[in-house]
Amino acid sequence: MTDAIRYEKGPDAIVILTIDLPGQSANTMNALYREAMGQVLDRLEAEKEAIAGVVLTSAKKTFFAGGDLNELVKVDKAGAEDFYRMVLKIKADLRRLETLGKPVVAAINGAALGGGWEICLACHRRIALDDASVQIGLPEVTLGLLPGGGGVVRMVRLLGLEKALPYLVEGKKVRPAAALKAGLIHELAASREDMLAKARAWILSAPDAQQPWDASGYRMPGGTPASPGLAQTLAIAPSLLLDKTKGCFPAPEKILCAAVEGAQVDFDAAQLIETRYFTELATGQVAKNMIGAFWFQLNAINAGGSRPQGHERQRVRKVGVIGAGMMGAGIAQVTAAAGIEVMLKDVSRDAAEQGKARAAAAWEKKVARGHLTPAQRDAYLARLHATDDDADFAGCELIIEAVFEDRALKGKVMVAASVAARHDAVLASNTSTLPITGLASAVAEPERFVGLHFFSPVEKMPLVEIIRGAHTRDETLARSFDFVQQIKKVPIVVNDSRGFFTSRVFATFIQEGIAMLGEGVGAALIENEARKAGMPVGPLAVSDEVSLSLMTHIRSQTAKDFEAEGKRPPEHPAFAVIDRMVEQGRLGKAAGAGFYDYPANGRKQLWPGLKAGFERPGVALATADVRDRLLFVQALETVRCLEEGVLTSVADANLGSILGIGFAAWTGGALQFINQYGLDAFVARAHDLAARFGERFAPPVSLLERAVRGEAFV
C-alpha cells in the first residue's frame, strides 16, 4: 500500500483517507494518485463490513489541485485511445467510492479546483473549512478543457442544467460561504478539528447515505432538456455561446454539448459522453496553447523568472501617484486595495479629490454586488489620500507618474516628486510609448527610474509591463517586480524601446485595421473578422477608445523625436485615414464621435459616413486575409521585439500579448501562434502577405533562421 493516500481507521470504525502525494506541493491526478486510489478502493471494498464510513481529506495546504497538466499536455491524437481509457478508470474509481454503500465525506481543508472538486462531488457530504484561502470550482474551461473526471455529469445532476452551466462554461469559482449558499457544500467548519468532528458525527447519523442521483425517484433540479421551460432556453444557448466565443474556443461549446446530452441519458452513459468530449479537447491544439500560456508560462512569470536574482523581496508601504485622471486613479485604487498607503496628487486638491471619488465609486459598486464589505471599503478609502502638495510624498518608497504623454511635463512633475520622496525611492513612469531612458534623464539618479506601464481599466487588466531603461539598476527592477506582485498583477519585464513591447504591437493591430479601411475594405467586415480571429474588440472600436486625437499627438511627438535624432519619422498607410477623421472632428469615443457613433440612449454603431468616405464596393478582400493580416502583423512585430532584445523571454511575449493587448487567447500568445501555425507555413504565409500588402509583413531574419533550424519558440 502506497503512502500517497494514508488509510487510518479509528476506534469508531471510520476510515480517514489523507491524500499526500510525495514530492509535490499539491495533489494531482497523476499516475501515483491513480494507483493509490485504486488500491485504497480495493481495501475499502474488502473491509466494507468492518467500517462505518469514510472521510477524504488532504495533508497539503490545498485539498487537491486537479489533473496533472505535465501529463495532459503531452497527449496527442495517437495516444487518444489510451488517454480515454485512463480517464474512464479515474471515473470508475470515483464511482466505486460513491457507491461503496457507506457514507463518504469530503473534508475540504483547502482549495478544491478542477479534479479536486470532482473528487468532492463523488462524496455524499462536503464540509469545507471556512477560510478565505479555500476556493471551489471547475476552471478547466480557462485552459481549453472541460471537467473530465465526472464534473459535468455530477454538477448537472446536483444543481440542474441552468444553475450548473455558469460553473462549467465560465469556470466560476466560489469561496466557502458562497458555496454553501449555492448548495455545493453542506457545512462550514471553523478549524480542521471541527471539520473532522462534523464529518464523523454525520457519518454516524447517516449510515445509509447515497448520492441524490442514485436515490429512488430522483428528478433533475430544474427539469431535463425536454422540459418546456428549459427547452426554450437551450434552443438559443448555442447561438448565445457562439456570440461570445466567435468559434475560437471549442471548450465552452463541448461543455454545453456534454451537459445537455448527458442530462438526457443515465449516469454511466453521461460519463462516457463527457469522456469523449474531454478526450477530443485534451488532444486538440487549442488546449495545448492555453495550458502552455495560462499554466506553465504564467507560473514561470509568477515564480520570478524575469526578476533579477540576488535581491531580497520587499514590500512597499507608501506610494505616491502623480495624476488623478482615469489611469492615475485606477493605479491608486488597486494599490490602496492591496493594503498600501497612497498619496494621489494632481494640480489642484479638487482634481485629486475627483480621482479619489472615482476609486470610491468603484468600491461602492463592489459593495453593492456583495464583493466587498463596507468595512473593507472604508479601510481602502482610509489609505487613499488626495493632495496637491509634493511634500506629502515624504516617506514614499515608490512614485508612479501617470500624467499626459508629454516629455517635458513628465520630467517636471517627476523631479519635484523625487525631491520630496525617500532618497532611495523607485521612480516610475506609466508612459505607454515614450522611451524610459529619455524620461530618466530628467532626474538626478536615472538608475532609480523604471517604466511601470499599466493598462486601462487598471482595476480589471491583470498585466503590468515593467520597462528597464539603459541605466535602470537590478535592484530597482526587482523592487518594481515585487510591487506589481504585491498589488496582485502579472509582471512582464522588457527592455527600453519606443512603444516598448505591448504598445508597439498593439499599434500594429490598430493601424492594420485602419489601413484596410483606407484600402476600401468594409468597416463591418474588419471589425467582425477581428473578433472572429479571437481579438476581444475590433481595431476601429479600440481606436475610438484610445482616441484618434491621442494617436495623432503620439505620432507628432514621435516625429519630433525622430527629427531630433536625424532620422526619418515612420510612415504608415493608416495615418492618412486618421488625419481625415480628425479633420472632420471625429476624435473618438470621449468626443462622442469616431469610427463609431455614440448615441445617448443606444448602443454604439459604425458611423455611416465610413461607407461614403472610405469603403469601395469593388474592393473584395477574403475573410482569411483580413484575419491573418490582423494576427500576423502582431506576431511579426513580437518576433522583432524578441530579435531586438526588447523582449527577453517567450513567456513574457505570450502572456504580455494576451493579458496586455488582448491577442487571441486561443492561440496561447503571439509567439505560440507561430508555433501552432507551423514555422515553415507561417513564413510562407508572411511572404505572401508581404507581396500583396506591404513590407511590414516580411518575416524577420531571426524567424527565417529559426524556421530553417525547425526551432519553435520556447
Strands (E), 323-448: 341-345, 384-387, 398-401, 426-429
Grouping H, G, I as helix, E, B as strand and the rest as coil, residue 115 is helix
> Which H helix or E strand runs over 187?
strand 187-189
Question: Which residues neighbour 547 within 8 Å (Cβ) at sequence distance 6 or greater?
Answer: 587, 588, 589, 590, 591, 594
> Which H helix or E strand runs over 474?
helix 474-486
C-alpha–C-alpha distance, residues 566 and 601, integer Å: 50
C-alpha–C-alpha distance, residues 305 and 311, integer Å: 13
Which residues lie across from 129 on neighbouring strands? 189
Kindly tell me the sign of the dihedral angle through the C-alpha atoms of 450, 456, 459, 461. negative
Say if residues 21 and 33 touch (Cβ distance below 8 Å).
yes
The DSSP call for residue 28 is: B
Widest Cα–Cα separation across the chain: 89
Burial class (CB within 10 angstroms; exposed 0-12, middle 13-18, buried 19+) of 612: exposed
Question: Phi/psi at 372 (nearest 5 deg)?
Answer: -150, 140
C-alpha cell at position 674:
507561430
Which residues lie across from 28 on neighbouring strands? 66
Kindly tell me the sign of the dihedral angle through the C-alpha atoms of 194, 200, 205, 209. positive
Burial call 283-313: b when 16+ CB within 10 Å, e when fewer: bbbbbbbbbbbbbebbebbeeeebbbeebee
DSSP collapsed to 3 states, 518-544: HCCCCHHHHHHHHHHCCCCCCHHHHHH
> Which H helix or E strand runs over 182?
helix 176-182
**DSSP for 532-585, written as a single string:** HTT-SS-HHHHHHHH-HHHHHHHHHHHHHHHHHTT-PPP--THHHHHHHHHHTT
Say if residues 669 and 663 touch (Cβ distance below 8 Å).
yes
C-alpha–C-alpha distance, residues 223 and 231, integer Å: 9
Active-site residues, by number, are 118, 140
Say if residues 477 and 285 touch (Cβ distance below 8 Å).
no
DSSP collapsed to 3 states, 76-132: CHHHHHHHHHHHHHHHHHHHHHHCCCCCEEEEECCCEECHHHHHHHCCCEEEEECCC
Please state, in angstroms and as integers, the Cα–Cα distance from residue 686 to each residue in 199, 508, 629, 697, following that order. Answer: 62, 15, 9, 6
C-alpha–C-alpha distance, residues 43 and 53, integer Å: 13
Say if residues 684 and 487 touch (Cβ distance below 8 Å).
no
Question: Phi/psi at 155 (nearest 5 deg)?
Answer: -65, -40
Say if residues 163 and 223 touch (Cβ distance below 8 Å).
no
Grouping H, G, I as helix, E, B as strand and the rest as coil, residue 52 is coil
The DSSP call for residue 463 is: E
C-alpha cell at position 215:
436515490
CA-CA-CA-CA dihedral for 355, 357, 359, 363, to nearest 10: 180
C-alpha–C-alpha distance, residues 33 and 55, integer Å: 17
